[in-house]
């Protein structure tokens, strides 16, 4: 009986392990664009950041708090890393693990912003951090090419349906 | 009595309102075709530099850059190469560091002086030049072309299409623009985008 319980416990750990280790998917822009264009009533909070960007790293906890505070609502936080794809294993994954980031993390593997940035937002000049909050159903969209405090972030999301 | 109680809140609101104006850069700066106003900024050798100083210049490659941003570092040698290639053609580089050293300690005047460039490396202490140009990030590059006594913005944006690896560059945006500008034509692609570090604006 004891052995059985132990086995069940081990299997449980084994099965939940992939969920514990935060995965970082490497995507190209069309994939991200498609995802953000879906006619859903979920509000997407998309933060473009990089491990080398000091103000980005500083504001990340605010996005984590926002995710936790809205976990029961139709709010999805996406952290899109602009680190080079070559740094995925060296920098991005260890960073995500070390900080224990719970929000979904993507790495956008597009070396030339001129091929995609205007399609995401014509106003974005390319400075990081950049944050986009979008709800396709309510047709609301705001962008910030600046660091946001947790209070500014919460205030920005306040205007969106939940 | 009520007024007295509320006064601190009013003061706070006013301070917040004021800081939102001070802390944020101007959303719009120069567009291609705009006349660039001259500036007078301190070089790392202690001398003041203006666009008007160099009478032989047909134009300038003005680049907002810094010591600390990984992208500025990645592009440093390519900025030096631009000067080597285009200064003899009449378009020298003028580098401007707009970062507040209180926010980015590696961007102090003393740290800037460690750089030995063949072109000016100016400190934009008030950050007014970066704001006037509409620079948002480092590196952020502007090509200016002389028209009489004026300098007109002919190109704004990126250096090329691959910041990580110069050997993988397919399109040299600024060089393509300069080829056309030197031939007396407007640049076909006169505005490009690049990822970069936000300029470290002074905290209010």
DSSP class of residue B89? T
Tokens of A157: 């999301």
Q: Residue A113 belongs to a domain with what CATH number?
A: 3.40.30.10
Tokens representing A27 are 């995507």
Interface contact A125-B24, CB threshold 8 A: no
Domain annotation covers residue A141: yes
Tell me which residue range forms the domain holding A56: 22-158
Is there a domain that residue B172 lies in? Answer: yes
Instruction: State how many domains chain A has.
Output: 1
Each residue's pLDDT tens digit, A67-92: 999 999 999 999 999 999 999 999 99
Give me the phi and psi of B191, to 5 degrees please.
Answer: -140, 125
Checking ipTM against 0.95, whether it exceeds it is no
Q: Does B137 contact chain A (CB < 8 Å)?
A: yes
Nearest CA in chain A to B173: A114
Q: What is the pLDDT of residue A143?
A: 97
Provide the chain B residues 155-184 that lie in CB contact (below 8 A) with chain A.
158, 161-164, 168, 170-171, 173
Which chain A residues are closer than 8 Å to B32 by Cβ? Answer: none
B17 found inside a domain: no
Report chain B (204 residues): mean pLDDT per 10 consecutive residues: 55 49 57 96 98 96 97 96 98 98 96 97 98 96 96 97 94 98 97 94 87
Residue B134 gets the label, from left (phi > 0), alpha (psi -120 to 50) or beta, of left
Query: What digits encode the pLDDT tens for the residues A32-63?
Result: 999 999 999 999 999 999 999 999 999 999 99
A129 domain residue, yes or no: yes
Residue B135 maps to which CATH number?
Answer: 3.40.30.10
Distance from CA of B95 to the nearest CA of A (A): 18
B68, B199 Cβ separation under 8 angstroms: no
Q: What is the pLDDT of residue A125?
A: 92
Answer yes or no: is A113 within a domain: yes
Residue from A29, A57, A107, A127 whose CB has the most chain B CBs within 10 Å, to mutate = A127
Q: How does pLDDT run across A3-26, given as a tens digit for each residue?
A: 555 555 454 444 444 444 578 999
Pick the residue from chain B with its C-alpha nearest to A123: B27
The position carrying tokens 């086995």 is: A7
Cβ atoms within 10 Å, residue A112: 20
Q: What is the pLDDT of residue B204?
A: 73
Q: Is B187 on the interface with A (CB under 8 A)?
A: no
């Amino acid at each position: 009986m004891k052995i059985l319980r132990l086995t069940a416990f081990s299997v449980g750990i084994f099965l939940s392990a992939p969920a514990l280790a935060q995965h970082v998917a490497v995507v190209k822009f069309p994939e991200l664009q498609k995802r953000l264009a879906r006619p859903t009533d979920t509000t997407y909070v998309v933060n473009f950041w990089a491990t080398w960007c000091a103000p980005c790293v500083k504001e990340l906890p605010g996005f984590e708090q926002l995710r936790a505070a809205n976990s029961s609502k139709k709010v999805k936080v996406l952290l899109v890393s602009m680190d080079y794809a070559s740094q995925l294993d060296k920098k991005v994954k260890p960073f995500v693990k070390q900080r224990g980031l719970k929000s979904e993390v993507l790495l956008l593997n597009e070396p030339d912003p001129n091929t995609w940035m205007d399609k995401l937002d014509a106003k974005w000049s390319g400075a990081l951090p950049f944050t986009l909050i979008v709800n396709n159903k309510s047709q609301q969209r705001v962008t910030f090419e600046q660091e946001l405090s947790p209070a500014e972030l919460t205030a920005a999301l306040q205007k969106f349906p939940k | 009595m009520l007024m007295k109680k509320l006064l601190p809140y009013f003061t706070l609101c006013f301070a917040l309102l004021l800081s939102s104006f001070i802390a944020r850069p101007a959303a719009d700066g120069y567009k291609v075709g705009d006349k660039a106003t001259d500036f007078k900024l301190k070089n790392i050798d202690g001398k003041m530099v203006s666009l008007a100083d160099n009478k032989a210049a047909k134009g300038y490659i003005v680049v907002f850059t810094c010591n600390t941003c990984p992208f500025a570092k990645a592009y440093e040698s390519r900025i030096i190469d631009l000067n080597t290639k285009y200064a003899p053609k009449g378009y020298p580089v003028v580098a401007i560091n707009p970062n507040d050293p209180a926010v980015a300690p590696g961007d102090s005047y003393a740290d800037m002086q460690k750089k030995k460039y063949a072109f000016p490396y100016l400190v934009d202490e008030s950050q007014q030049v970066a704001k006037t140009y509409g620079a948002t990030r480092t590196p952020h590059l502007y090509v200016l072309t002389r028209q009489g006594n004026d300098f007109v913005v002919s190109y704004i944006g990126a250096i090329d299409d691959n910041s990580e690896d110069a050997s993988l560059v397919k399109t040299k945006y600024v060089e393509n623009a300069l080829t056309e500008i030197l031939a007396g034509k407007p640049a076909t692609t006169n505005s490009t985008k690049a990822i970069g570090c936000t300029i470290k604006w002074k905290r209010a």
